[in-house]
Structure 1
Amino acid sequence: MDLLRHLRFFVSVADEGHFGKAAAALQMTQPPLSQGLRRLEQHLEVELIHRTSQGAMLTEAGRQLLPRARLLVDDADRLLAESRRIAQLSGSVRFAATTALPDRLVAACVTALRVDGAEVSTTLRPTVDLVAEVRAGVCDVAVIEHPALVDGVEAGPVVKLPRWLVVPGRHRTTTAERPTFPMLAGLRFAHPPRSANPPAFDSVRDLLRERGLDAEPLAAADDRAVLAAVAAGSSFGLTATPPTPTPGVAWMTLAPQSVALRVRVVRRADAETQADALDRVLYRERLR
């Protein structure tokens, strides 16, 4: 769990004495705040807050642990402020992208961030990790998959990028005059695991079911794993990598608007310039 984030929840509720006011102070909604505080209590194995009709009251354990929690949160804020100062002085940008973003677009994003010779460090991670890293200040700006929970970070507009269906090279859909999703029955759906981004995973599974296909999922961390599973003949998948001659794999265009990859830029509050540069890159690549 993101311990620092959940300690912020605890400190804010203790300061405000009310879940609604604490959520407003943190610029988030109340349900995830309440759920996060319960996860913290479970992690620490103590009850920190009494929930009452009048508001929130510290328990005895909460009173004892609050000073230490406040110290950790304040120290983290000072650390982040100092790291941002150093980054600005060195002209560096900490960029990250979802593993669903094709290599060519990752390179285009890095190029766009190299304004005035800035040094760009790049990492590729699942969306859940990216949001947590931007929120914690470890990363300045990131391209994530949508939908995703983005509380605690600044988020830009959603952009739809082309995505293709990939199937085994000799699958019957490759020769069908009008291929349909139900024709993929019997194949597993190779896709990043649900833990990488639960909202996006559920969204694409719901889409397939609406189209008449309830395929068993197969965890595939990135495009390489997806293509390997498809080439093995037992799976199909989705990729934002344009059609490329690949042994054992066939690219298909099927319901392009529905299966499009939806992405957006998330950033720290002071990384607006970098986010604008990435928005321009994604806008040029949007699905027409």
Structure 2
Amino acid sequence: MDLIRHLRFFVTVAEEGHFGRAAATLNMTQPPLSQGLRRLEQHIGTDLVHRTQRGAVLTTAGAALLPRARLLVDDSERFLTEAERVSEARGVVRWGATAALPDRMLTACAAALRTGPDVTVSTEVAATVDLVAAVRSGMCDLATVEHPALLDGVEAGPVTKVPRWVVVPAGHRSARAERPRFPMLSDLSFATPPRAGNPAAFDATQDILRERGLDVGATTVADDRTALAAVAAGLHFGISTAPPGSVPGVAWLTLAPDAIALRVRIVWRPGVDVDRHITAIDRVLFRERVR
């Protein structure tokens, strides 16, 4: 559990006296705020807020714990401000990238962020859910994540589409077809990273396949590389940014290219000056976008 984040939920609800106003203050919707506060209450084993028709009222325990919670939230903000100052003085750029981002873009972004000989670039490759949490907590200055995604507590830039292809075993019937179609893949399982890494993007991809007549089971793989290995083994298909012809045992199909394109965007924490880093990554994404 991200304790500071959930304490911030509690403090904001207590100060606003209303879940709707608290959600607006935190720049998020009400359901995840309410769910987050409930998780905090379950974690500490006591109710903090009475939920009433008129708003939120502190319990006895909530009133007793609010001053300490407020101190922890305030201290965390001061810590992050100081950490950012130290990182800037040392010339450290901490950024993250979704594991779905192709290697050529990952390395190009890292190179673009190193704007001088004294600048150190620290790169974290992770699932979108984890990257958003890292940016929100201040562990990353900014990150390139998949779209769609739940982005409460962070700012986000425009969406860029990166080309992807449907990949199938080289000997599969769809690879030999003059006009391949999604239903031809019904005898294969879909090799894809776990839903927990970004539920919104996972569900959107499943919807795309179903809309085109393909409803098959999913096999969880760690990343794009292991998906390609699963495809080459003969029992799976996948969706990959790997360019055609780059992997033995795999055939590439151009199916609904716009719909299956990888959608990415840059996210950062509100109030943090990362404009020059955003510009550097934007240039890389612009070169690679679907035209």
Q: TM-score range by the shorter chain?
A: over 0.9
Deviation for aligned residue 1:121: 0.6
Question: Any unmatched runs of 5+ in structure 1?
Answer: none
Aligned residue runs from structure 1 range 95-110, under 5 A = 95-110=95-110
Structure 2 counterpart of 1:284, from 277, 282, 287: 287
- Number of residue pairs the alignment of both structures matches: 288
Q: Does 1:154 align with 2:135?
A: no
Could you say what secondary structure the match of 2:143 adopts?
Answer: strand
Q: Distance in 1 between matches of 2:172 and 2:278?
A: 41
Match for residue 188 of structure 2? 187
Match for residue 23 of structure 1? 23
Farther off after superposition, 101-110 or 21-30: 21-30
Q: Distance in 1 between matches of 2:257 and 2:27?
A: 35
Match for residue 81 of structure 1? 81
Deviation for aligned residue 1:13: 0.7
Q: Distance in 2 between matches of 1:104 and 1:245?
A: 13
Q: Distance in 2 between matches of 1:56 and 1:178?
A: 59
Q: Does 1:136 align with 2:137?
A: yes
Q: Does 1:174 align with 2:175?
A: yes
Please tell me the residue identity of whatever aligns with 2:289. R
Deviations 1:200-227 (A, max 9, x none): 0000001000010111001111111101
Q: Distance in 2 between matches of 1:153 and 1:131?
A: 7
Q: Distance in 1 between matches of 2:83 and 2:261?
A: 36
Please tell me the residue identity of whatever aligns with 1:226. A
Q: Distance in 2 between matches of 1:82 and 1:21?
A: 29
Please tell me the residue identity of whatever aligns with 1:284. R
Deviations 1:260-287 (A, max 9, x none): 0000000123212211221121111110
Please tell me the residue identity of whatever aligns with 2:95. F
Could you say what secondary structure the match of 1:115 adopts?
Answer: coil
The runs of at least 4 aligned residues of structure 1 exceeding 6 Å deviation read none
Please tell me the residue identity of whatever aligns with 2:285. L
Q: Distance in 2 between matches of 1:8 and 1:28?
A: 13
Match for residue 273 of structure 1? 276
Please tell me the residue identity of whatever aligns with 1:272. D
Farther off after superposition, 166-175 or 73-82: 73-82
Match for residue 35 of structure 1? 35
Deviations 1:134-157 (A, max 9, x none): 000000011000000111111000
Deviation for aligned residue 1:45: 2.3
Farther off after superposition, 173-182 or 1-10: 1-10
Q: Distance in 1 between matches of 2:227 and 2:154?
A: 30
TM-score of the superposed pair, with normalisation by structure 2: 0.96
Could you say what secondary structure the match of 2:100 adopts?
Answer: coil
Deviation for aligned residue 1:37: 1.1
Deviation for aligned residue 1:180: 0.4
Match for residue 5 of structure 2? 5
Question: CA RMSD, aligned part only?
Answer: 1.2
TM-score of the superposed pair, with normalisation by structure 1: 0.97
Could you say what secondary structure the match of 1:139 adopts?
Answer: coil
Farther off after superposition, 21-30 or 105-114: 21-30
Farther off after superposition, 111-120 or 231-240: 111-120
Deviations 1:234-257 (A, max 9, x none): 100011121243222112211101
Please tell me the residue identity of whatever aligns with 2:123. T
Q: Distance in 2 between matches of 1:32 and 1:113?
A: 33
Could you say what secondary structure the match of 2:278 adopts?
Answer: helix
Please tell me the residue identity of whatever aligns with 1:80. L
Deviations 1:156-179 (A, max 9, x none): 000111001111110001110110
User: Percent of counterpart pairs with the same letter?
Assistant: 63
Question: Any unmatched runs of 5+ in structure 2?
Answer: none
Q: Is contact 2:132-2:151 (8 Å) kept?
A: yes
